[in-house]
Amino acid sequence: MLQLVVTAPQSGNGKTTAVCALLGAMAARGLTPCAFKAGPDYIDPMFHRAVLGVESHNLDLFFSTPETVRSLYARHAAGHGAAVVEGAMGYYDGLGGVSDTASAWHLADTLDLPALLVVRPKGASLTLAATLRGLLAFRTPHHIAGILLNDCTENLYKMLRPMLERETGLPVVGYLPFLSGAAIESRHLGLKTAAEIADLQARLKLLADAAQSSIDWPLLQRLFDRPAPAAAPPAAVPPRVRLAVARDAAFCFTYAETLEALQENGAELCFFSPLQDTALPPDIGGLYLPGGYPELYAAELAANAPMRAALKAAVENGLPTAAECGGFLYLGQTLEDADGTPHPMAGVLPGQGVKTGRLVRFGYATLTAQADSMLFAAGEQFPAHEFHHWDSTQNGTALTAAKANGRQWACGFANAHIYAGFPHLYWAGTPLAQRFVAAAERYKREEL
């Protein structure tokens, strides 16, 4: 089975486009590939899904134990002919930017997978070999098995390949040319979401066709062939309670593993759109509002007054609710749009969402609960992640967030029927899903 971690010396080398090119070409070659993303990013897996038509999964060694990560990888890679794991940032860049913990290298080491380095050979030639030799020497084992040149002409590839192989000892598996028609625009921390690109499939085909013709596939197969992981499929659990899950352009940041954990604990997921629907799904016992870009759709969310009223009434009536980041902003009083104009939101929580024009409290953090609540026990700790350019005038005090560098702040609203705050939680491998489903079941029993 073809298995590899796709990584780079640093951000900006085009890992996501290279992964999409590889996945598309693998699919065309009949390998039935699957995809994973190292770290907490929501957007890159959207592009994996757009290529493959199946879920991509996050693997994160800050969120999860090595055992959980190995289990998730084995479960979702089993039965496929290829598995591609897209790294984050530079190969060794991990927790706090000063540690290899939760880096792409840490993941390759945990899963014992070979890594393919994606390199843009812009502005360097022999010096590029020196950089790559530094990467090889930095950790043992380094797991790096090959090089892929990105945004590279055929002539430059023919010149660089023998030199890089001689100087680094690493085989160069091919190149991807610069394709202006396949470029993907960025926003905030990364690419625009896949759903926002009207001609995405045409761009993905350009990438796949390029990978088909400019990569040495027999060499790639030899370098990255590994025994297929074996994993028993999870036992089917009959649904016991319905959960409403927001899913549209404004609320699109959900981990597949979180939704699967809810289903494995007896939830039937009922997707709805706060942008378009005028009522919550019927007969629900809980509500999950994930993150996304509500600030870009603040006017549309405000205009849907029936949904805002229905949601406010349900939450105030005790409907078990989990709201992360964008979902948290939606529960507030108002939310500023990209122009700074405030719009009314659901009005469940006291804060107003405001544009800051900069990243706020970005990165991994550990949450400590101050008291018992629906999801947390007093003193309990959970890993989390924040990334947002909007803030709230009232962020809550139910939890304390702490970074590895010692910085701390209060955050979150939590009681017997709600969790709402900026931190994104990763529910797989934790008791969170079981607790949320149990709260939803209790709510339905009491409702009767």
Last residue of a domain, one of 196, 224, 252: 224
CB–CB of 184/199 below 8 Å?
no
Dihedral sign from CA coordinates of 321, 50, 386, 349: negative
Would 303 be classed as within a structural domain?
yes
Would 229 be classed as within a structural domain?
no
Distances (CA, A) of 245 to 11, 272, 274, 291, 419: 32, 6, 10, 11, 14
Residue 338: pLDDT over 70: yes
| pLDDT per residue as tens digits for the range 68-90 | 999 999 999 999 999 999 999 99
Would 210 be classed as within a structural domain?
yes
| pLDDT per residue as tens digits for the range 45-62 | 999 999 999 999 999 999
d(CA 94, CA 100): 4
Q: At what angle do helices 15-28 and 200-214 cross, to 10 degrees?
A: 80
> Does residue 264 share a domain with residue 192?
no
> Does residue 47 share a domain with residue 10?
yes
Residue 446: pLDDT over 70: yes
pTM for the whole structure: 0.94
User: Which tokens sit at 392?
Assistant: 């709230």
CATH code for the domain in which residue 27 is found: 3.40.50.300
Distances (CA, A) of 315 to 246, 284, 289, 344, 387: 14, 12, 12, 17, 25
**Percentage of the chain with pLDDT > 90?**
88
Distances (CA, A) of 190 to 45, 184, 385: 12, 10, 16
> Domain range holding 364?
241-447
Would 230 be classed as within a structural domain?
no
| pLDDT per residue as tens digits for the range 12-24 | 899 999 999 999 9
> Does residue 386 share a domain with residue 322?
yes
> Does residue 312 share a domain with residue 355?
yes
Position 189 scores a pLDDT of 47
Q: Is 325 assigned a catalytic role?
A: yes
> Does residue 122 share a domain with residue 18?
yes
> Does residue 68 share a domain with residue 215?
yes
pLDDT band at 425 (very low <50, low <70, confident <90, very high): very high
**To which residue do tokens 């990584």 refer?**
7
Position 260 scores a pLDDT of 97
Q: Quote the number of domains for the chain.
A: 2
DSSP-assigned beta bridge partners for residue 437:
none
Q: Quick one: how many helices (H) and strands (E) in the chain?
A: 13, 24
| pLDDT per residue as tens digits for the range 344-383 | 999 999 999 999 988 888 899 999 999 999 999 999 999 9
Would 208 be classed as within a structural domain?
yes
Last residue of a domain, one of 224, 258, 280: 224
Position 190 scores a pLDDT of 55
| pLDDT per residue as tens digits for the range 274-319 | 999 999 999 999 999 999 999 999 999 999 999 999 999 999 999 9
Annotated catalytic residue within 20, 152, 252, 325: 325
